[in-house]
Every structure is written in C-alpha cells, then in structure tokens.
Amino acid sequence: MTTLAASRPTTESHRARGLVPYFLLGTWFGVVLTKSQVVSWFRIQEMFRFQSFYMYGVLASAVVVAGISIRLIQRYHVKTLDGTDIVIPPKALGRGIRYWLGGTIFGLGWALTGACPGPLFALVGSGVTAMIVTVAAALAGTWLYGYYRPRLPH
C-alpha cells in the first residue's frame, strides 16, 4: 500500500501513510473481536437470554477502561501524537427520539444477525462470506435512513 502511494505526488503518499496506523488499529480490532468471540450469534443470543455473564463482562469492562482513559486524558491534558488538543464533542440529546427509537431498531437487527457493524466486517474476514449480504443490506438500511431522514422524528 505504501509502496504504491510512494510513486504518487508527495501529498497523496503523505495522506496514505497517515492511514496506516488506523489500518493497523483496525486489524487489532478485528483480531480482538474474533478471538473474544463477541462476533458470535451464539454469544449475542446468550446475552439477550441472560444466560451468561460473558458479554456483560466484556461490555462493562470496556466501558470502565474507556471511561478511566477519558478522565486521565482530560485531567492531564493529554494531546494527540501531533500535538493538537483532544476534544470530545458532546452528543446533542434534543428530544431523544432518534436514540431510543433508532437504538431499538438496531437492537432488533443485532439479535437477528448476531452482529453489530464492526463484527459484521470481522465475520466476512473470518470466512463467513454470506455476511457480505448482511453488509449490503445494512448499507441499504443506512441509505434508506438518509433518504427518509427529513420525514423522521428526531
């Protein structure tokens, strides 16, 4: 990828090189998702049936570690690697309809497919190639949301 980009003008190769850390982080994400088996329809079913602590342990410990990290970043005014400030934009609550209604629609899909968006792509990589159809359907779903967005309550 970098060798290809190197033959192009400097700005292009510079931009492509900037993407490498994100690609590597994404690769690690895919490994963690598959090795922890949170991509498994079985695990998601077990969670929604309250028949194991496993998924709750994963989600709760992830939130705690992420939360402590954010507090540390804020307390010590940690900056990004290139020295800019780290700012987390707050999510506008508004009337909140989009969150509970959109969330419920996603929840239906999460339990039916057994996968949220990250795991969908990790499953395709791990060889469950029929999930390509689910990815295509998810893209269609996002596109439909964009189309109907002006008429939906938020």
* Helices and strands (DSSP H and E) totals, the chain: 7, 0
> Is residue 113 at the binding interface for other proteins, with CB under 8 A as the rule?
yes
Give phi and psi for 37, each to the nearest 5: 60, 20
Q: Residues 4, 48, 75, 76: which binds other proteins (CB under 8 A)? A: 48
Compose the 28-47 pattern: x for residues touching other proteins by CB under 8 A, - for all others: xxxxxxxxxxxxxxxxxxxx
Q: 85 pairs with which residues across the strands?
A: 79
Ranges of H-type helices in 36-130: 41-48, 54-75, 97-113, 117-126
> Is residue 2 at the binding interface for other proteins, with CB under 8 A as the rule?
no
Q: Which is nearer to other proteins, 10 or 31 (CB)?
A: 31
Compose the 70-109 pattern: x for residues touching other proteins by CB under 8 A, - for all others: x-xx----x-xxx-xxxxxxxxxx--x-xxxxxxxxxxxx
> Do residues 134 and 118 touch, judged by C-beta distance below 8 A?
no
> Do residues 57 and 117 touch, judged by C-beta distance below 8 A?
no
> Is residue 6 at the binding interface for other proteins, with CB under 8 A as the rule?
no
> Is residue 110 at the binding interface for other proteins, with CB under 8 A as the rule?
yes
Q: Residues 6, 54, 77, 151: which binds other proteins (CB under 8 A)? A: 54
